[in-house]
A and B are shown apart, each in its own frame.
Chain A
Amino acid sequence: MSGIEYLGAGELARRYRDRSLSPVEVTRALLDRIGGLDPVLGAFVHVAAVRALDDARHSEAAIAAGRPRGPLEGVPVALKDLLDASDMPTAAGSRVIGRLPARDAAVVARLRAAGAVLLGKVGLHELAFGVTGVNPHFPPCRNPWDRERVPGGSSSGSAVALAAGLAPLAIGTDTGGSIRIPSSACGVVGLKPTFGAVGRSGLVPLAWSLDHVGPMARSVADAALLFDAIAGHDRDDPWSAAHAHEPAGRTLGAGVRGLRLGVLDASAAGAAAGVDDEVGAAVEAALGVLIGLGARTVPVAVPPLEPIYTATFALIASEAGGYHRRRLADRPSDFGEDVRRNLAIGLCLPAADVVAARRAQGVATGALLRSFDDVDAVVLPTLPRTALRRDDPVSREPREAWNRLVVPFNLAGLPALSLPAGFDRAGLPIGLQVAGRPFDEATVLRVAAAYEGATDWHTRRPPLQA
């Protein structure tokens, strides 16, 4: 271990400024670590070593000249292989997408403009359509805390790369929890921004109306830094927010004194049912920490989760089925069994049922927005239980499903973040979810930063030998 592997982006920027580290030194150390650990962990599907070192030299020159291009100058980033980068293949975790894009995705263009060094592409659940990260087309991607456990998905490689010290920052995408689920399962920080806050052109879609691109990191401050670098209008994404992005990281240190934090009220018993005792206890303890820091908790009603889950799955399956229909017709055996069947379910849904799901989305969004009338943020578990064993089936029933506590914020498009909040008896990370009002990532990050500052869960590292 060189000591570089777990330095955060903010710390790297400081060390570059005082010349105690250089982008080339850091990039080389991380590439070495990827070479040593990734054959076992399976986070990366494409390592762009030559280009990364070239970019690092460019960053080094820019810093030496006193002209850094942006806040990520020389900071390595891992990119989920659902996004195009002009010098890397895009496979979307599949055998049916294989393109060498001519253009960068909007988020990649923003990363390069901010000075980031792209280390390569990290893997995902096939076509981002699943929550485990188990992908039949690629070598296993393993949870660094227990290699017999799944990393969670779909942004599995992003979370594993962060937890294993292979990259200080990563980009994920989240359609039904795909940033927050692996962040929780691997003990890192992941923010699903407000729908429209981060541009999506150059993204292989899972479901256009629910897809979000967002930052993943090992600390809330790094997630805020990355979010502020990638947020903003994307003229090639018709659902991109038109207004200028207001930096969300500026109020990170403002604390939570006087903030009202929503907690699930008694009517949300269905939401609480099935939450593992250790996860429930960790979230209660986290609320105690936030109360100790001056926050006030307010019970809030949330709409029933089962219709939300049902509507979300119907929309994802129908949009994904529509997008992949021709490939499914031409090459059905090139899809994994599970994804092939999910896409087929989408193609079998009657139009009136899809419209009902879209109407339910409107109703649920209104209800969730009303739950923020009297609170500044809502705090709840990310996952009902910690990382599953590789051979555990993921329940498909809404009541038990691994993603039921995260999908409401996809359906409504509200910002939501997961951060480490403890470990269970098996040593597996537990995630705390903080959700906020539309375009109020600043408050979400502020609550998370206050909690993180009072705890040390985010400093724990998995047992790995490079």
Chain B
Amino acid sequence: MTPEPDEPDVAAILARLAEQGVRLDRADAEALRPRLASLLRRLARLAAELPEDAPPQPGGGERFPR
């Protein structure tokens, strides 16, 4: 059973953005909250289903070396 992440609330969203210098209206935070919550839930499920030793996709250089 994948633990569900805490639902972000509007105050937490605004605070998280403010930490990064971004100040949005409350209306923006309220509008994006359900989508952020849905994405966090899906990412939690995705993380739980990954093989434990699966590494990140390599970044630089050629992704498909010849």
A residues lining the B interface (CB < 8 Å): 194-196, 209, 238-239, 241-243, 306-307, 310-311, 313-314, 325-326, 328-329, 332, 337, 340-341, 344-345, 347-349, 352-353, 355-363, 365, 396, 398, 413, 438-439
Chain A to chain B contacts (Cβ below 8 Å), 21 pairs: A238-B61, A239-B61, A239-B63, A307-B49, A310-B42, A311-B46, A329-B23, A341-B32, A344-B32, A347-B17, A348-B16, A352-B47, A356-B47, A357-B43, A360-B50, A362-B57, A362-B58, A363-B50, A363-B51, A413-B64, A439-B66
Q: How many A-B residue pairs have CB under 8 A?
A: 121
Q: A196-B63, A347-B16 are in contact. Are A314 and B39 (CB under 8 A)?
A: yes
What residues of chain B have their CB less than 8 Å away from a CB belonging to chain A?
Answer: 8, 13, 16-17, 20-24, 28-29, 31-32, 35-36, 38-40, 42-47, 49-51, 54-64, 66
Q: How far is the CA of A314 from the CA of B36 in the complex (A)?
A: 10
Which of B16, B39, B66 contacts A313 (CB under 8 A)? B39
Residue of A195, A340, A341 contacting most chain B CB atoms (<10 Å): A341
Nearest B residue to A439, CB-CB: B64
Bound: A328/B17 CA distance, A: 10
Contacts of A311 in B (CB 8 A): 46
Cα distance A419–B40 in the bound complex, in angstroms: 35
Would A238 and B50 count as touching, CB distance under 8 A?
no
Complex Cα distance A313/B42, Å? 11
Residues of B within 8 A of A352 (CB): 47
Q: What's the minimum C-beta distance from A234 to chain B, rounded to whole angstroms?
A: 12
Checking A196, A314, A325, A329 against B62 with a beta-carbon cut-off of 8 angstroms, the contacting residue is A196
Q: Which of B38, B40, B51 contacts A353 (CB 8 A)?
A: B40
Please state if A359 and B50 are interface contacts (CB–CB under 8 Å).
yes
| Chain A residues positioned under 8 Å from B35 (CB to CB) | 341, 345, 396
| Other-chain residue from A243, A314, A329, A341 in contact with B43 (beta carbon distance below 8 A) | A314
Quote the shortest CB–CB distance from A248 to chain B (angstroms).
Answer: 15
Say how far B10's CB is from chain A's closest CB, in angstroms. Answer: 12
Give the distance to chain B from A331, nearest Cβ to Cβ, in Å. Answer: 11
Q: Considering the chains assembled together, what is the distance between the CA atoms of A22 and B55 in angstroms? A: 55
Out of A241, A332, A413, name the residue touching B24 (CB < 8 Å).
A332
Considering the chains assembled together, what is the distance between the CA atoms of A332 and B10 in angstroms?
18
Of chain A, the residue at the smallest CB distance from B64 is A438
- In the complex, what residues of B have CB within 8 A of residue A196's CB? 62-64
Nearest CB to that of A341 among chain B residues? B32
Q: Determine the distance from Cα of A376 to Cα of B24 in the docked complex, in whole angstroms.
A: 49
